[in-house]
Amino acid sequence: MSKLPLNHRHTWGGSENAALRTLANQNTPTRVMGLKLGRTPVAVQAQAAKLGVSLAPSNQSPYNRRRS
């Protein structure tokens, strides 16, 4: 069985929500966010959805469209 994260089953605080928003704005991968916040990637995704924060990378064009 794997080791549980530091904040397992603890509620999200205001500073953690702010950190989540900051990391999402910096296009940080979900797995890295989880490591920095002491949460699982699934918990990060769930909290982002609850807050209305998009985790989609803003620097990639959709459908592999490239301008030439």
Here the tokens at position 9 are 């089953």
The pLDDT score that the predictor gives to residue 3 is: 81
> Tokens 């928003």 identify what position?
21
The pLDDT score that the predictor gives to residue 68 is: 58
Q: What is the pTM of this model?
A: 0.79
Q: Categorize the per-residue pLDDT at 66 as very low, low, confident or very high, splitting at 50, 70 and 90.
A: low
DSSP one-letter string for 3-64: PPPTTTTPPPPHHHHHHHHHHHHTT--HHHHHHHHTS-HHHHHHHHHHHT---S-TTS-GGG
- What is the tens place of the pLDDT at every residue in 7-18? 877 899 999 999
- What is the tens place of the pLDDT at every residue in 2-57? 787 778 778 999 999 999 999 999 999 999 999 999 999 999 999 999 999 999 88
